[in-house]
Amino acid sequence: MAKKVAFLQGNEAAAQGALYAGCKFFAGYPITPSTEVAEVMSVELPKVGGKFIQMEDEIGAMAALIGGSLAGSKALTSTSGPGLSLKQELIGYACIAEVPCVIVNVMRGGPSTGMPTGPSQSDIMSAKWGTHGDHPAICLVPASVQELYEETIRAFNLAEKYRTPVMIMPDEIVAHMRERIVFAEPGEIEVIDRTAPTVEPSKYKPYDTSFGDVPPLAAFGSGYKFHVTGLNKLPDGFPTTKAEYVQAEEERQVRKVEGNAADIMKWEEYLCDDADIIVVAFGSTSRSARFAVDEARKQGIKAGLFRLITFWPFPEARLLELSKKAKGFITPEMNLGMSHGVVKAAVEGNAPVLGIFRVDGEPINPGQIIDKMKEVK
Amino acid sequence: MSFDYDKYIRPGKLPHIWCPGCGHGIVMKGLIRAIDACGLKKEETAIVSGIGCASRLPGYMDCCTLHTAHGRAAAFATGVKMARPEMNVILVGGDGDGTAIGGNHFIHACRRNINMTYIILNNKIYGMTGGQFSPATPTGAKASTTPYGNPDPAFDIAKLAIGAGATFVARGTAFHANQIDKLITEAIQHKGFSVVEILDDCPTTYGRRNKFKSVVEMMNHLKDIAVPVKAAEKMSPEQLQGKVLTGVLHKEEKPEYTEQYAQVIERAQAAK
Ligand SMILES: Cc1ncc(C[n+]2csc(CCOP(=O)(O)OP(=O)(O)O)c2C)c(N)n1
Ligand code: SF4
């Protein structure tokens, strides 16, 4: 049987990916340029017995998301810059209480209301540092409608597998463009569900590390009674200020993600093996970069593209390795140098890193990238 | 036979953190009696709170308990209830938590008329952070941040709930301990969003600054100002000066939110 094919907008594809992953709960608040995700979920969720709720603001949406997930539903919200800022306190709550959930954040110009309809890539630092305190961060940055669909499925898998919030951050161009997409057949892509406890309810502890760094999570209403808090906690979920527990728990929460970075990280190397100049790019910018690399090769410049698909955890070890041979790196991005700093730190001074930064609401074009290549000595 | 509170208290979690003379414990006992009277199963009951002294209550209860972030209990609880409408969902929190930082979630939970019971422990102050004024602090009162007397007017929380659309609203006090469980029982049995405000002035951070000499004096004050709604009907406006009405203040039937959403599901599936 031929596969189902459609011509879809990025945001619609994200919603379809969530449904494929078994999402049964959506809580959100409208904001351009992410609203289509909510609109599709409001149509589709009730058809599969799921629940859609439009909350009074993004804080409420994030709160309801965590509540829905704790009650056992795979949960999604969608937002954009200003809404992401409002969600941050409770993203930290989901990190420390270890509640799986997925946040689609479509990147538009900022800070504040900024440019609501203009593309941007300036929320990638918010994904890691937006909420206070030490915490794990997973952030996916797809570059096409197909990839947004597939990465949304993966975002749910990672959230459920590691009991943590996962952010998926298409820029406005990826979220709003329309492309052909091929839907996965049922069973074609693996769908992961959180591990439920097998111990009898009276023995259950929601943070029992004897089961490993990711303890099983019961659902409220499934026969298990337990306590959830945003305070630093003991394995039984109750608050503690005991130094040895607090230190060990914080380290474990970060280790869940950093220690499994190899499983989480994804990137694509295009002509990097013999490249003198490596362009490190993500999202819609990486599409211009690929075009630029092909053009540069025609002009005799040995260029390559390192395309990030996860931004956090960041593949610094691989970039360090490539920096031993490369003569220079270029980081084109729709912000004022966010990935630039991260790439610079990764390559440890082995090669210069030149940035192309745009925050005027216009995409970065291949010509700009080729011009920059010519500056590498 | 005396009532067995231990059946609902989490083993090993007492003593509680509340000060001697704090009314929050009296409300917890009332809640336990109400849960028992309603026959709620512990594993099918979620107790959700925000942050504050009052919000520590769920930790002592042997149920599914969710201690959230400051002000957000109603929104977390809405998620739990939507995902599992068959669960009994009870919210607990302070006046600051519910009507300042959480005011938006509070009024919208009232508006949706989602079937949950919200118990607001109104001690007139931010207790946990040491006595700053809250939206329930009376004008003129002293708080750590109103050293010259509070310039702000106070909310009437029960009226706020009624105005926002809650379909059951009641008020009691920590002095009238035997009434608390009856009000909460009726609230739990009501289908829709029910609000029970319990006045339990904080002796440590409110009473001390506002010339109450003892907890006993504060309790007597609650006794003096409380007027049951029935009795109030026979009183003149002059006689009601400085009094607060107690008992069931409002009750009406309106469509409940999770039932409304169940109809959305039916319509969506019929159109499929
Ligand atoms: C976002 C946020 N802001 C401020 C605080 C600090 N804080 C903790 S409890 C509290 C006030 C609690 O007062 P109330 O809700 O009336 O409960 P009470 O302690 O009086 O029972 C405040 C302001 C916080 N925890 N989180
Ligand atoms: S500070 Fe006030 S509200 Fe908090 S426990 Fe003490 S008496 Fe109760």
Residues of A in contact with B46 (CB under 8 A): 71, 220-221
Question: Quick check: B1 contacting A, CB < 8 Å?
Answer: no
Q: Mind listing the pLDDT tens digit for each residue in A353-364?
A: 999 999 999 999
Angstrom distance (rounded) from CA A170 to CA A11 = 9
Q: What are phi and psi of A163, to 5 degrees?
A: 50, 55
CATH topology of domain A1-264: Rossmann fold (3.40.50)
Residues of B in contact with A73 (CB under 8 A): 83
Residue ranges making up the domain that contains B195: 5-270
Of A285, A296, A336, whose CA–CA distance to A125 is shortest? A336
- The CATH number corresponding to A268-373 among 3.40.50.920, 1.10.10.10, 3.40.50.300, 3.60.110.10 equals 3.40.50.920
Q: What is the β-pairing status of strands A165-168 and A328-333?
A: unpaired
Q: What is the Cα B22 distance to its own chain's centre?
A: 15
Q: Is the pLDDT of residue A176 over 70?
A: yes
Could you tell me if the CB of B135 is within 6 A of ligand 1? Answer: no
In the structure encoding, which two tokens stand for residue B159, read together?
């009226």
* Interface pTM, i.e. ipTM: 0.97
Model pLDDT, residue A143: 98
**Mean pLDDT (whole number) for A68-82:** 98
Model pLDDT, residue A377: 85
Question: Quick check: B68 contacting A, CB < 8 Å?
Answer: yes
Q: Supply the CATH number for residue B247's domain.
A: 3.40.50.970
Quick one: which ligand is closest to B174's CA? 2
> Which residue owns the Cα nearest ligand 2 atom 6?
B19
CATH 3.40.50.920 intervals, chain A: 268-373
> Which residue owns the Cα nearest ligand 2 atom 2?
B202
- Give DSSP secondary structure letters for A237-259: S-B---HHHHHHHHHHHHHHHHT
Reported confidence tier of residue A1, pLDDT bands at 50, 70, 90: low
Model pLDDT, residue B272: 73
Q: What is the Cα B10 distance to its own chain's centre?
A: 21
Angstrom distance (rounded) from CA A347 to CA A327 = 11
Angstrom distance (rounded) from CA A39 to CA A41 = 5
Total domain count, chain B: 1
Q: Mind listing the pLDDT tens digit for each residue in A305-325?
A: 999 999 999 999 999 999 999
Q: Is the pLDDT of residue A43 over 90?
A: yes
CATH 3.40.50.970 intervals, chain A: 1-264
Q: Is the pLDDT of residue A2 over 90?
A: no
Angstrom distance (rounded) from CA B76 to CA B62 = 19
Model pLDDT, residue B1: 65
Residues of A in contact with B83 (CB under 8 A): 24-25, 51, 67-69, 71-73
CB A172 within 8 A of CB A106: yes
Which residue stretches of chain B have pLDDT < 50? Answer: none
